[in-house]
């Protein structure tokens, strides 16, 4: 969901602010908003796909440009056949894009597994990251997952441009390092922050009373506990977390959903919420390094020898950190004359196609 939701939200922005008609193609998912029209396509065999004629699309639709996730890079072949300008959309941040592009060099120059490196890797804008904090797909060179991952990454430079869910005031150094690198990359357009503007669920009744309770609290006084779209904790860790939160004396909201794909609630950026970087899966280790050590807007709790973050450590990191300046620049980037709106206009200006 951390790829699909930003892509859908970006598509809505393109339709709203640039007048594009947008079609999104992805596997079946639940919870789509009621105002999204969808069509279910019948299954087809891979052999049939090879024999298909993409050019027939132009007979009924004026296609401008395909914008796609980097891990469906096979669309490049279709774009080439249709003589269209393809764009990648990175739904996370410029730091991850920096790592992906840097992997093209590392894959050819590092003689051993990344996890066996004695020193942290130095990324383009001078941040150092330990191999154990890299994303899971690059941890094992011999795995099929790594080979598929690198195959997609090698296609990034073939795009007309790369749009990233970030903004200049947040990751200006990273974007500048990519633009000034001796290896020539496609133009990079920071079009974020792109966040979920609505939910597919009906919370109007607020049966639990959470929203009413929040409305009665002072601004910036509540800690929100969330573990991403698929995070789960052991019983022991849940127990330590609950006791640690209680010991901190900080008011908190910890809402558990039956649906593991529940996303962060609307307004998380507006409130300038402080962060504790808790590591579970996917890109969270890299994000923790970036938030805690580079942007300095998060605290990273340390696990004990059993792999648990104990209650004392939790109570220690549950402190208020300043993030209001990031909230302000994020809102400015999203405004009508903000840097992200200008970047998306530049990417889709008529002479780009």
Residue 173 lies in a domain: yes
pLDDT for 86: 92
Q: Are residues 30 and 179 in the same domain?
A: yes
For the chain, the three-class secondary structure string (H helix, E strand, C coil) is CCCHHHHHHHHHHHHHHHCCCCCCCCCCCCCCCCCCCCCCCCCCCHHHHHHCCHHHHHHCCCCCCCEECHHHCCHHHHHHHCCCCCEEEECCCHHHHHHHHHHHHHHHHCCCCHHHCCCCEECCCCCEECHHHCCHHHCCCCCHHHHHHHHHHCCHHHCCEEEECCCHHHHHHHHHHHHHCCCCCCCEEECCCCCCCCCCCCCCCCCCCHHHHHHCCCCCCCEECCCCCCCCCCHHHHHHHHHHHHHHCCCEECCCCCCCCCCCCCCCCCCCCCEECCCCCCCHHHHHHHHHHHCCCEECCCCCCCCCCCHHHHHHHCCCCCCHHHHHHHHHHHCCCCHHHHHHHHHCCHHHC
Kindly state the average pLDDT of the residues 20-35. Answer: 69
CATH code of 292's domain: 3.40.50.2000
Residue 70 lies in a domain: yes
Percent of the chain with pLDDT over 90: 11
Distance CA 162, CA 189 (A): 6
Nearest to 123 by CA among 141, 97, 146, 148: 97
Residue 128 lies in a domain: no
Residue 202 lies in a domain: no
Indicate the number of domains in the chain. 2
pTM over 0.85: no
Residue 252 lies in a domain: yes
Residue 203 lies in a domain: no
Kindly state the average pLDDT of the residues 318-324. Answer: 53
Residue 102 lies in a domain: no
Q: Are residues 258 and 344 in the same domain?
A: no
Kindly state the average pLDDT of the residues 88-97. Answer: 91
Q: Are residues 83 and 145 in the same domain?
A: yes
Ordered strands of the 67-68 beta sheet: 67-68, 87-90, 161-164, 188-190
pLDDT for 163: 94
Q: Are residues 316 and 291 in the same domain?
A: yes
Write out pLDDT tens, residues 33-72.
666 677 777 776 666 555 566 666 677 777 888 898 988 8
Average pLDDT for the chain: 74
Q: Are residues 219 and 339 in the same domain?
A: no
Residues catalogued as catalytic: 3, 69
Q: Are residues 68 and 173 in the same domain?
A: yes
Which range of residues forms the domain containing residue 344? 4-94+137-196+329-352
Q: Copy the structure tokens of residue 180.
A: 């000034």
Chain CA centroid to CA 129, Å: 18
- Residue 69 class from Cβ within 10 Å (0-12 exposed, 13-18 middle, 19+ buried)? middle
Residue 120 lies in a domain: no
Write out pLDDT tens, residues 160-212.
999 999 999 888 988 998 998 888 899 999 998 888 765 544 555 565 677 78
Top pLDDT among 273 and 285 is at 285
Q: Are residues 286 and 166 in the same domain?
A: no
Residue 81 has pLDDT above 90, yes or no: no
Q: Are residues 242 and 343 in the same domain?
A: no
Whether the Cβ atoms of residue 170 and residue 311 lie closer than 8 Å to each other: no
pLDDT for 126: 63
Q: Are residues 333 and 316 in the same domain?
A: no
Q: Are residues 168 and 241 in the same domain?
A: no
């Amino acid at each position: 969901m951390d790829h699909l939701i930003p892509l859908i939200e970006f598509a809505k922005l393109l339709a709203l602010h640039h007048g594009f008609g947008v079609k999104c193609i992805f596997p079946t998912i639940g919870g789509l908003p009621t105002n999204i029209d969808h069509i279910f396509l019948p299954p087809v065999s891979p052999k049939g796909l090879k024999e298909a004629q993409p050019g027939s699309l132009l007979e009924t639709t004026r296609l401008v440009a395909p914008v796609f996730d980097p891990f469906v890079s096979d669309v490049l072949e279709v774009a080439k056949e249709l003589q269209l300008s393809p764009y990648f959309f990175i739904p996370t941040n410029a730091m991850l894009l920096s790592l992906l592009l840097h992997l093209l060099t590392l894959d050819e120059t590092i003689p051993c597994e990344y996890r066996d490196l004695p020193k942290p890797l130095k990324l383009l804008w001078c941040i150092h990251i330990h191999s154990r904090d890299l994303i899971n797909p690059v941890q094992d060179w011999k795995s099929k997952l790594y080979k598929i991952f690198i195959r997609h990454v090698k296609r990034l430079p073939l795009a007309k441009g790369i749009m990233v869910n970030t903004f200049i005031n947040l990751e200006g150094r990273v974007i500048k390092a990519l633009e000034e690198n001796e290896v020539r990359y496609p133009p990079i357009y920071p079009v974020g922050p792109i966040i979920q503007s609505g939910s597919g669920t009906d919370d109007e009744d607020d049966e639990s009373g959470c929203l009413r309770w929040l409305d009665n609290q002072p601004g910036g006084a509540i800690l929100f506990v969330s573990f991403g779209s698929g995070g789960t904790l052991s019983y022991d860790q849940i127990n330590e977390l609950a006791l640690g939160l209680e010991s901190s004396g900080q008011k908190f909201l910890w809402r558990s959903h039956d649906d593991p794909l529940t996303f962060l609630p609307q307004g998380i950026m507006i409130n300038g919420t402080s962060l504790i970087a808790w590591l579970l899966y996917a890109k969270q280790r890299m994000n923790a390094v970036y938030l805690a050590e580079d942007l300095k807007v998060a605290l990273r709790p340390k696990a004990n020898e059993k792999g648990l973050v104990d209650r004392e450590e939790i109570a220690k990191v549950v402190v208020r950190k300043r993030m209001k300046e990031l909230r302000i620049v994020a809102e400015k980037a999203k405004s009508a004359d903000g840097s992200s709106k200008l970047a998306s206009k530049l990417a889709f200006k008529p002479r780009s196609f």
